């Protein structure tokens, strides 16, 4: 199980340390479960980031190690990682929020309101399901290795989440156990895909899909990006989708001067509050 990039020691620390740590603490001390929700939601967001990274640039050199790691991430992400292939790698990266991209942010109109932003992930999930179903049908009919991946990762989600729920109830009884499970494991798994679709919306709404430099919005804070594995640097990710996340910063710095300044925001949370909570930020092209 050799890493392709040494920087992914931190990915493994999050995947095998942080992700199971949240339910472990809640199961050991149920009274902590409500207080752990912010950490659980952060872990949920990171599960999506690591799932995204794994889909573009596998973490290990060996196929079996990557298969096992993908199944493990699927448990905490709340959905089998294979779904990134037809919806994200093959569709979103090909059409980049333009015509043909089933997740394009203009599909519900051109208005960028809080209601549109926060409900976009629900609509986006429905738009992506046909691609996922077709991928599974094709895999079952003609690609045994892909179909085995579907089975392994799906089993990881179902068995992993069912096991966590069963353990919580066995330890603390049905009512308390169900609540502990929901707050520490169920909710994070449910929110993993939501966070990624919401982030996709923020990274592309109001941008120009035809521009080589202004097709994406970046969140450039070094502090923010340390905690999210440089996920905020999105322009260069689209230009170099197979490049490891640890190379994004250098690539972004080479390109930043060509990107419209308002598309280089400081942090994702700051942008959300300024735009959708306080309504003080409205970029000219989004008015």
E strand or H helix at 136: helix 114-142
For residue 110, is pLDDT > 60?
yes
Q: Give 125-175 pLDDT, tens digit per residue.
A: 999 999 999 999 999 999 999 999 999 999 999 999 999 999 999 999 999
> Cα–Cα distances in Å, from 166 out to 18, 43, 159, 170, 177?
21, 21, 10, 6, 8
Element (H, E) at 265: strand 264-265
- Segment 62-85 mean pLDDT: 97
Chain centroid to CA 148: 23
- Range list of H helices, 174-256: 174-181, 187-204, 222-227, 234-239, 248-255
pLDDT at position 93: 98
Q: What value does the mean pLDDT of the chain take?
A: 95
Q: Give the C-alpha separation, 79 to 176, whole Å.
A: 25
Residue 118, pLDDT > 90, answer yes
pTM over 0.75: yes
The mean pLDDT value for 78-103 works out to 97
Does the pLDDT value for residue 285 go beyond 90?
A: no
In the chain, what are the domain boundaries?
6-206, 213-278
Taking only Cα atoms into account, the Rg of the chain, rounded to an integer number of angstroms, comes to: 19
CA separation for the pair 181, 164 (Å, rounded):
7
Contacts for 202 with CB less than 8 Å, ≥ 6 apart: 117, 217, 268, 271, 272
- The yes-or-no verdict on residue 246 having pLDDT over 90 is yes
Pairing, β 218-219 against β 264-265 = parallel
Judged against a pLDDT cut of 70, whether residue 284 lies above it is answered with: no
Distance between CA atoms of residues 251 and 247, nearest Å: 6
Q: Which two tokens stand for residue 38?
A: 């912010």
Strand partners, 149: none
**pLDDT grade for 108, boundaries at 50, 70 and 90:** confident
pLDDT of residue 207: 96
């Amino acid at each position: 199980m050799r890493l392709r990039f040494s920087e992914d020691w931190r990915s493994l620390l999050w995947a095998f340390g942080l992700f199971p740590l949240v339910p472990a603490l809640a199961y050991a001390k149920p009274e902590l479960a409500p207080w752990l929700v912010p950490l659980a939601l952060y872990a949920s967001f990171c599960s999506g980031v690591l799932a995204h990274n794994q889909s573009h640039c596998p973490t290990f050199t060996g196929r079996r190690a990557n298969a096992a790691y993908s199944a493990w991430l699927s448990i905490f992400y709340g959905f089998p990682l294979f779904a990134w292939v037809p919806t994200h790698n093959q569709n979103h990266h090909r059409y980049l929020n333009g015509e043909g991209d089933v997740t394009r942010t203009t599909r519900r109109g051109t208005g960028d309101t809080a209601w549109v932003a926060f409900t976009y992930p629900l609509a986006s999930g429905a738009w992506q399901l046909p691609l996922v179903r077709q991928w599974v049908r094709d895999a079952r009919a003609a690609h045994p290795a892909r179909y085995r991946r579907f089975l392994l990762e799906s089993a990881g989600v179902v068995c992993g989440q069912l096991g966590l729920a069963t353990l919580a109830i066995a330890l603390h009884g049905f009512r308390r156990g169900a609540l502990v499970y929901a707050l520490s494991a169920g909710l994070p798994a449910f929110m993993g895909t939501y966070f990624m679709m919401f982030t996709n919306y923020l990274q592309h709404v109001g941008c120009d899909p035809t521009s080589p430099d202004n097709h994406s919005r970046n969140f450039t804070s070094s502090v923010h990006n340390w905690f999210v594995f440089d996920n905020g640097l999105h322009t260069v990710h689209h230009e170099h989708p197979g490049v490891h996340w640890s190379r994004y910063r250098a690539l972004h710095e080479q390109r930043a001067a060509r990107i419209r300044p308002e598309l280089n925001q400081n942090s994702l949370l700051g942008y959300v509050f300024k735009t959708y909570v306080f309504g003080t930020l409205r970029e000219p092209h989004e008015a």
